[in-house]
């Protein structure tokens, strides 16, 4: 787990690493097969897992599904925000051009 800027949420959120995200994904898929009166109940195992890991009280299961470190690029050398994708060539936050292989 690592706190990173999220382009969609427009705030710094706890992002999951690959192993953590694999588990979250399983719990997310289970949520669809579970009967519950509402989203919060059906995805409770996922939300509990995320909160236990991060201390962040997330209530939207879908948000967790884009909070994976590997879905983003490395942090920008200038402003520290992660590139929007692993292959992005510049940073939209500060306009910094990414040097190759960094
Ligand atoms: Zn987000
Ligand atoms: Zn930047």
Pairing of strands 2-6, 11-15: antiparallel
- The answer as to whether 48 is a domain residue is yes
Tally DSSP H helices, then E strands, for the chain: 4, 2
Which ligand neighbours the alpha carbon of 72 most closely? 1
- The answer as to whether 80 is a domain residue is no
85 CA from centroid of ligand 1 (Å): 13
Rounded to whole angstroms, how far apart are CA atoms 4 and 19? Answer: 17
Q: What pLDDT was estimated at residue 1? A: 94
60 CA from centroid of ligand 1 (Å): 10
Rounded to whole angstroms, how far apart are CA atoms 2 and 13? Answer: 8
Strand runs labelled E in 1-66: 2-6, 11-15
- The answer as to whether 49 is a domain residue is yes
Q: What pLDDT was estimated at residue 99? A: 80
Which ligand neighbours the alpha carbon of 80 most closely? 2
- The answer as to whether 89 is a domain residue is no
15 CA from centroid of ligand 1 (Å): 9
75 CA from centroid of ligand 2 (Å): 8
**Largest interatomic CA distance in the chain:** 50
- The answer as to whether 33 is a domain residue is yes
Rounded to whole angstroms, how far apart are CA atoms 102 and 76? Answer: 9
13 CA from centroid of ligand 1 (Å): 7
List, run by run, the mean pLDDT of 10-residue segments along the chain (102 residues): 94 97 98 91 97 96 96 94 94 90 54
Which ligand neighbours the alpha carbon of 5 most closely? 1
Domain around 31: 2-71
Number of domains in the chain: 1
């Amino acid at each position: 787990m690592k706190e990173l800027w999220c382009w969609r949420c427009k705030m710094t959120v706890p992002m999951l690493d690959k192993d953590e995200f694999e588990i979250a994904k399983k719990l997310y898929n289970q949520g669809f097969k579970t009967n519950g009166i509402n989203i919060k109940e059906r995805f409770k195992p996922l939300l509990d897992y995320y909160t236990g890991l991060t201390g962040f009280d997330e209530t939207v299961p879908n948000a967790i599904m884009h909070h994976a470190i590997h879905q983003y690029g490395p942090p920008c050398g200038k402003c520290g925000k992660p590139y929007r994708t692993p292959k992005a060539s510049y940073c939209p936050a500060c306009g910094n051009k990414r040097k190759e292989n960094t």
